[in-house]
Structure formats: C-alpha cells, structure tokens
Structure 1
Amino acid sequence: MARPSSPSGSTFSVIGADVTIKGDVTASTELHVDGRIEGDVTCDSLVQGESSVIEGAVSAEIARLAGQVRGSITARQLVVLKSARIEGDVHYDALTIEQGAQVEGRFAYRLSEGQTGDRNASSAATQADDGEPKLTLAQ
C-alpha cells in the first residue's frame, strides 16, 4: 500500500511496539498504537494493539481497544475487545464489548449535541434517535 508523502495527506499514523511517548498525542487521522503512551490521546479514530499501554485520557470519534488503558475514555463508537484491560470511566454513544474484556470504572452514556437530560422531551432529534444507550455484547 502506497503512503502519501505529505503529513496532511496521511491516511493513518502508527506508533510502533518499540516506541514510548511521554506527553499528549493528537492526530487528525486514524491512529494505530502498538507502543506505550504516557499522556492523553486525542484523534478521529483509534486502533489499539493488544500489547500497547495508554496511561491517560482517550478521546476519539471511533475507538477499537485491545490493550491496556489507564484513564478515562470518551468515544462516539467504542469497541472493547476481549484482550482489553481498562481502568477508568467510559463515556460512549455506541458500545460493543467482547466477552472477557476487563473494565474497572463506570460506563456512562454520552448525550449527543442537542439532547438534554430529559429523555421524555419530544423533538425531531429525540424522535429520530430514541436517546437510549446502545450496548452490544459481542461473542
């Protein structure tokens, strides 16, 4: 697969298994993490390898976690694979957890923009989306 030469045209970024980053990481594209990050991670899409460790908050539109995370997680779509070990609170819009995943923390459904805490309120936004948390247990 050919990779664009300019950083602005990159389709994804990779942090290899032999890399340790001390500090916050921000990516505007998909981020693959196989190494260790000691800091917060903010990106559009995060794919975490089984042997990777993130010690800090994770914020992503889409996150697929297979390694260890010590910190809060906020994601619109979150997939927690069976090899994942999470220590921290999880905020999500849609959540899939494989059997065997370990999470020590609280799960909280994230209200989308335009929604209020009153789930009985009738509006076009709440009629199109019932506002209920979406949880999928994978096998």
Structure 2
Amino acid sequence: MAAGVAIKGTIRIEGHLHIDGSVEGDVYSNSSVTIGKSGIFTGKLHSKIVSVSGKFNGECHSDSIAVKSTGVATGKLLSNDLVIDKGGVFNGQSSALADAIVTDIKMEVAKQESKKAKAS
C-alpha cells in the first residue's frame, strides 16, 4: 500500500501486506504485515509476523513482532516473540500470546457469569 493511500475498514489478506500509507481498522493476514517508515496503522492487527518501522497504535496478535529502529508501537502487543531494536519505541502492554488468550477467556467467562447473576 503506497504512501498517500488511506484505508479505513477491515482488510483480510492471504499473503504479505506492506503499509506505507495509512490504515485504520482491522487487518487479518495469514502471513506477514510490514508497517513501513511512512506507514501509520491504527486498530487491531492479526498476523503471523509483524514488523513496525513506522507508527502502530492499537492491539496486535502475532507469533512474532519486531519494532525496528524507526518504529513506534503504542498499545497492546500479544506475542511469544517480541523484539525492540535499539531506537525503537514501545509504549503500552505486552503479554505472551498464550497467556493473553487465557486471560481473554477468563474475562469472557466472568462477563457471562455476571450476566447470569443479574438475570436471576
């Protein structure tokens, strides 16, 4: 996706996505997503491999996340392999992917139990 291009919405892609423009929304890739130096991403990102050289703001679920020396990642990163290069910036929360899934399930169970209790 070239610099100057802006997309708002949901992207589902089988293969690599390279963002040099702006994306706001949800991205699902079964391969890799690269946010280039001029790229800006805001939203939820699900991919096997993520590389951030530009700006990321949101929630990322990935097997491997790399914040490169020019990258800025803000938000929640869920991965079992997180690398922040010298000069790279990360502001937010990080969790191991499996731990995050267990936490999400526990929170959902607690919500359901709370709804049941209110209904009775």
TM-score normalised by length of structure 1: 0.67
Report what 1:40 is aligned to: 26
Report what 1:20 is aligned to: 6
Name structure 1 gaps, 5 residues minimum: 1-14, 118-139
Q: How many residues align?
A: 100
Provide the rounded CA distance (Å) in 1 between the counterparts of 2:87 and 2:45: 21
Residue 38 of structure 1, CA deviation: 1.1
Asked if 1:96 corresponds to 2:91, the answer is no
Mapping 1:1-139, distance limit 5 Å = 15-43=1-29, 44-111=31-98
1:30 maps to amino acid: H
RMSD over aligned CA atoms reads 1.7
Provide the rounded CA distance (Å) in 2 between the counterparts of 1:55 and 1:95: 19
1:67 maps to amino acid: G
Provide the rounded CA distance (Å) in 1 between the counterparts of 2:90 and 2:26: 19
- % same residue: 26
Residue 36 of structure 1, CA deviation: 0.3
Provide the rounded CA distance (Å) in 1 between the counterparts of 2:91 and 2:81: 19
Residue 48 of structure 1, CA deviation: 1.3
Report what 1:134 is aligned to: none
Q: Secondary structure, in 3 states, of the residue corresponding to 2:16?
A: strand
Report what 2:109 is aligned to: none
Divergent runs of 4+, >6 A: none
Residue 99 of structure 1, CA deviation: 1.1
